[in-house]
Amino acid sequence: MKRMLMLAAATLVLVLPASSSAATITVKIVPGGAFSPAKVTVDSGDVVEWTNNTAVNRQVVADEGGFASPILKPGQSYSFTFKTAGSYAYHDALHPASKGSVAVQGPPPAVTLDIGAPIVTYGNSTTLTGKISTGDSGQTVTITSRPEGASSQQVATVTTGSDGSFTVTVKPTIQTDYVATWKSTQSQMASVQVRPRVRLTHYTSTRLFAKVSSSVSYQGRVVYLQRLSSVGWITVKRLTLGPNSGRIFAAPHIRGYRTYRVVLTASQAGAGYMNSWSNAARVRYRR
């Protein structure tokens, strides 16, 4: 008997309908053209269904274009899921005097913005990713940038994917703040910092060429030559950059192989740039 009761309980669980937090609210279009009820309050994710209970055609259209039904013949219905909190006024496009509104409760619309690499070297790109709170696809998101010392400017317009996410590649030339805007909602600010590109190459076997690149000139500024030692990098020479932000110089005359790099400090890099350093280069003096 006990076994039979357990089987019956299990069967009951299987046939119970799945629960859902979303609700469907019915609005009737009644003779005379009125919406009944004319004002409804729903939660984010709820569905509003309009049914044409009149003898003529009707069409439900949001005042701001957020939704629009096809023409509803007598007896036909139209449903819309409200995913974003706010107030939505609507009317009958075929009979404009008929009006209604839907108040949606829930968290306000939101858009996020994250950075793939928050620090880049001059000339390199990074990726901005984000997502809108409704998860809707096909939504337009505008990306705005504000480079150091400059005003804000629109740099990209992207469309959300199937889960409401978006991706855009940017190439900042100086420290830049980015903001994503979806409808009237803005994301938090995301900043990308930039290091000048510092390169060290051989001019001859014992002479080296140092060059710094960014959106500004470094002529007259200073870089430091460092040598790799048993205790790490040590500064061995101070170099003033010439035209085209470069400098040719002789490596210190030390017998054998030595490894060098060039360092640009933050104070020499200038506003909007971080400190930076070059690749390593090896020099050999035979005697």
- Domains delineated in the chain: 19-105 (2.60.40.420), 114-194 (2.60.40.10), 196-285 (2.60.40.10)
- Tell me what pLDDT residue 106 has: 85
- Tell me what pLDDT residue 37 has: 96
- Tell me what pLDDT residue 20 has: 46
Residue that the structure tokens 């051989």 belong to:
202
Three-state DSSP at 189 gives coil
- Tell me what pLDDT residue 134 has: 87
Distance CA 267, CA 215 (A): 16
Q: Residue 186's beta-bridge partner residues? A: 181
C-beta of residue 108 within 8 angstroms of C-beta of residue 182: no
Q: Which pTM value belongs to this model?
A: 0.72
- Tell me what pLDDT residue 230 has: 96
- Tell me what pLDDT residue 21 has: 63
Which parts of 84-189 are beta strand (E)?
86-92, 95-105, 114-115, 119-121, 126-131, 140-147, 153-159, 165-170, 176-182, 185-186
Q: Which residues of the chain have pLDDT under 70?
A: 1-21
